[in-house]
Amino acid sequence: MDTWMYQSRINFQATATEIIETQLAPWIKNTGFTFDLKRRKKEGSGPKSIGSARVIAFGLERGATLTTRQCLDFELSELKRGQLIDLQLAHIPEGWLIAAGYILPPGSYLRHGTEMLAGGNSHVLGVASLHKEEWRFKTPNGQPTFFPITPEYTNEEIDFAENIMAAALIVASEIDEMARIETLFQGTLGLRTKEERRNFYIAFETTDRSFSKKVCDVWTKDTAISAKMSYGSKAFAQGVIKEIMKKCTEDNVIVIEIDIFLIPHLEAEQEDDFEAMIQGEDVIIITSEGGGGLRAQSETLGFHLASQIMEREESKRAEILKSLFARRGSDEKVKGGKSGESKLEWRQQLNDQQQETIENWLNEGAGRVHFQQAPPGTGKTRVAAACIAAIVHQNPDCAVLATSGSNLPVSKLTEEAARTLPDQDMIAFFSGMAKVRYSEHIALLENHLLATKINKEGYQNKLEPGQARDVKIYLEKIERHPKQAAERKVGAVLQKTEFRNVVFATIHMALSIPGAHVTTTHLVVDEVTQVSFTSMVHLLCQMPNVASVLLTGDRRQIGTHLNDLPDLIHEGFGLESLTTQIQHCPRISTTTLIYCYRAHPTLVQCFDYASYRQHNERVIPAIAATERRGLTDLGINLPVSDIPLILLNICGHTEIDPASFSIENPETNCRSAENC
């Protein structure tokens, strides 16, 4: 058996002298899809043939390379991107290394470095056959689509769609993980000065522009990093990226120099590794995993947790999930509800549509989901805060989680809720990176931050020794080195020892602190346009006591960030905005806010015409132009006529902020600055 291993940078020739078959690995069958086709180079002008395909199904640790010898009843030339395919998957022991086209035993010295570690339930591709059953939901060009889920879906079709969504999430997760692995640094670190034994610099040198772009995309300022001695060893230090400098030499070599800060872990052995690194020993520096939780979402959908809850539970959570999956339920026509105490000051300031949102929120029924469609300036965050106040006033024993996909909406919602409920004891959790990026804004929320709560007199006296030590370390680091403070770990201690019925955190942060989501009875999700369907399903499946859900956002604004993923899974795989699903769910009640309080009537008319009127929606100025005289009454000279209104055409490549996961567009920002 010659040339038995040839893949990527591994090019190794060997001859097998003996093969002993001990046993066949247990295998399972699952349906997946092709997400990439590799074509061979061919001389002449004829079409290129397909050399291999990348396929994915739930159960695989990563996308697998499918070659001709693995095809049972078809040729590779018959495949198309997005085509359904049945895969037989073999179980692989934990600790083995998995690449796209080969596997390696634990501890293999010969490796590329981009292999993934097999878990306890990992599989690899065996053989494949074409999926024979027809899927009835397709795009206009004939490609199968699995989202949004409409009332026409049967329960069996929902199970199938969950499986495919789970596979798509593995692809998305692999892309993020591979970008981190492919851009890791391996080599010697440099010290800026001998006295500063925590500040280092590293450098990438390349002539490959695509690789340099990938490095700059992954190695961004304020991103957390870790250091280890080898691929299989544990990290001995952690830190953060401080600055990035990119330049091109006369020889067209691209040099990317990165300033980093590293601090060793406390164990003696790891401090020895840190000292060896300072003395010039080669180490591996890699950026930390992103906060998307894609693997966990994949498992929730792949194991059909939502479907099992809907089928087996008689609970409000089950009814909420049924509403989200466009299923029939016990209360088909619930609308409106309890008015609550309308004489409260913060309720008297709301208009009729905003009051309607609160009434729907308070009437949880058998399990309620309410969506508030809110264009810019219509007061959606204020209404969300009022909803929190209303349920706390009505039910003091409730547990509210106010969340979003990114930190900035969470901080604004915390600030608004603090104004509405000045005497309420609430807690807001923010990552160390968020506290650096939004330090001035988050500082305004000091009374509701974790450090304030655990620094109260007498609190540490009721903790166990290990908990008290964690709290002490947290308080030492939170001011000077917030990125090194264990917000999740200490937050879990606080929620375990002291219950607070109003919690603010991003979805990812809340899921990592059990006390922040397990007890939740009422869920508020702000900026829901940037929350994916799969992440929302995963969150609800972790909340056994949830009874009422408020989703607020603007379906006409930008959705989830998918630019880094293959365009195949941008639509139809559940990674899109939750608002795409909402419009197909008859049991989700909706309130539409139409009065804009923020902008001048002329501006309101502009974005009303540009974004809403074409969808038979309206945005109406709430304040007349005659009352918008703040600048005019200052007495300064202002242009009043013949001044053009400039509307910017957004172009360039959108990026996701590493701290808040919100969308930004540096190229457009630069062009705007140049034009001004």
pLDDT tens digit sequence for 335-368: 555 555 556 677 778 989 999 999 999 988 888 9
pLDDT digits (tens, 9 = 90+) for 566-586: 889 999 999 999 999 999 999
Does residue 69 fall inside a structural domain? Answer: yes
Side-chain-side CA neighbours of residue 587 (13 Å): 24
Per-residue pLDDT band at 634 (split at 50, 70, 90): confident
> CA-to-CA distance for 15 and 11, rounded, in angstroms?
14
Mean pLDDT of 303-313: 96
Does residue 41 fall inside a structural domain? Answer: yes
What pLDDT does 565 receive? Answer: 82
Which of the pair, 594 or 346, is modelled with greater confidence?
594
Last residue of a domain, one of 116, 133, 150: 133
> CA-to-CA distance for 278 and 357, rounded, in angstroms?
59
- The crossing angle, in degrees rounded to 10, of helices 155-182 and 209-218 is 110
> CA-to-CA distance for 5 and 14, rounded, in angstroms?
8
For residues 329-347, one letter each, b for 16 or more C-beta atoms within 10 angstroms of the residue's C-beta and e for the rest, the string is beeeebeebeebeeeeeeb
Last residue of a domain, one of 281, 304, 332: 281
At 191, which helix (H) or strand (E)?
A: strand 190-191
Domain that holds residue 263: 189-281
> CA-to-CA distance for 169 and 174, rounded, in angstroms?
8
Q: Are residues 110 and 16 in the same domain?
A: yes
The secondary structure of 99-161, three-state, reads: CCCCEECCCCCCCCCCCEECCCCCEEEEEEEECCCCCCCECCCCCECCCCCCCCCCHHHHHHH
Please check the confidence at residue 674 and state whether its pLDDT lies above 60: no
Q: What is the mean pLDDT of the chain?
A: 85
What pLDDT does 224 receive? Answer: 83
- Could you identify the residue written with the tokens 């705007």? 672
Q: By mean pLDDT, which of 287-296, 407-416, 589-598, 642-651 is the weakest?
A: 642-651
Per-residue pLDDT band at 331 (split at 50, 70, 90): low
What is the percent of the chain where pLDDT is above 70?
Answer: 86
Please check the confidence at residue 451 and state whether its pLDDT lies above 80: yes
What pLDDT does 666 receive? Answer: 66
What pLDDT does 14 receive? Answer: 61
Please check the confidence at residue 7 and state whether its pLDDT lies above 50: no
Does residue 544 fall inside a structural domain? Answer: no
Please check the confidence at residue 373 and state whether its pLDDT lies above 70: yes
The secondary structure of 570-622, three-state, reads: CCCCCCCEHHHHHCCCCCCEEEECCEECCCCHHHHHHHHHHHHHHHCCCCEEC
Does residue 245 fall inside a structural domain? Answer: yes
Q: Are residues 99 and 20 in the same domain?
A: yes
Q: Are residues 34 and 127 in the same domain?
A: yes
Q: Are residues 98 and 214 in the same domain?
A: no
> CA-to-CA distance for 636 and 430, rounded, in angstroms?
42
What pLDDT does 562 receive? Answer: 78
Q: Which residues contact 173 (CB under 8 A, 6 or more apart)?
A: 292, 294, 295, 298
Q: Are residues 96 and 197 in the same domain?
A: no
Q: Which of 408, 388, 407 is closest to 399 using CA atoms?
A: 388
Does residue 101 fall inside a structural domain? Answer: yes
pLDDT digits (tens, 9 = 90+) for 186-245: 999 998 887 788 899 999 999 988 888 889 888 988 788 999 988 778 889 988 888 999
Segments of 249-319 assigned E as strands: 254-264, 283-287
pLDDT digits (tens, 9 = 90+) for 21-76: 667 778 899 999 999 998 876 655 556 688 889 999 999 999 999 998 899 988 99
Please check the confidence at residue 537 and state whether its pLDDT lies above 80: yes
Q: By mean pLDDT, which of 53-67, 72-86, 476-490, 593-607 is the weakest?
A: 476-490
What pLDDT does 356 receive? Answer: 93
Per-residue pLDDT band at 6 (split at 50, 70, 90): very low
What pLDDT does 245 receive? Answer: 92
What is the percent of the chain where pLDDT is above 90?
Answer: 46
Q: Are residues 47 and 125 in the same domain?
A: yes
Please check the confidence at residue 305 and state whether its pLDDT lies above 60: yes
For residue 10, give both structure tokens. 């591994």
Mean pLDDT of 397-419: 93
Last residue of a domain, one of 281, 297, 324: 281
**CATH number of the domain bearing residue 209:** 2.40.10
Please check the confidence at residue 95 and state whether its pLDDT lies above 50: yes
Q: Are residues 87 and 205 in the same domain?
A: no
Does residue 104 fall inside a structural domain? Answer: yes
Q: Are residues 198 and 119 in the same domain?
A: no
Task: Give 138's strand partners.
Answer: 144
Q: What is the pTM of this model?
A: 0.85
For residue 219, give both structure tokens. 């190695």
Task: Give 200's strand partners.
Answer: 191, 260
Q: Are residues 261 and 195 in the same domain?
A: yes
Q: Which of 358, 351, 338 is closest to 378 using CA atoms?
A: 351
Does residue 246 fall inside a structural domain? Answer: yes
Mean pLDDT of 662-676: 58
Does residue 407 fall inside a structural domain? Answer: no
Per-residue pLDDT band at 669 (split at 50, 70, 90): low
What pLDDT does 57 receive? Answer: 97
Mean pLDDT of 543-555: 95
Q: Which residues contact 611 (CB under 8 A, 6 or more apart)?
A: 375, 556
Mean pLDDT of 368-374: 94
> Total structural domains in the chain?
3
In terms of DSSP bridges, do strands 224-228 and 283-287 run parallel, antiparallel, or are they unpaired? antiparallel
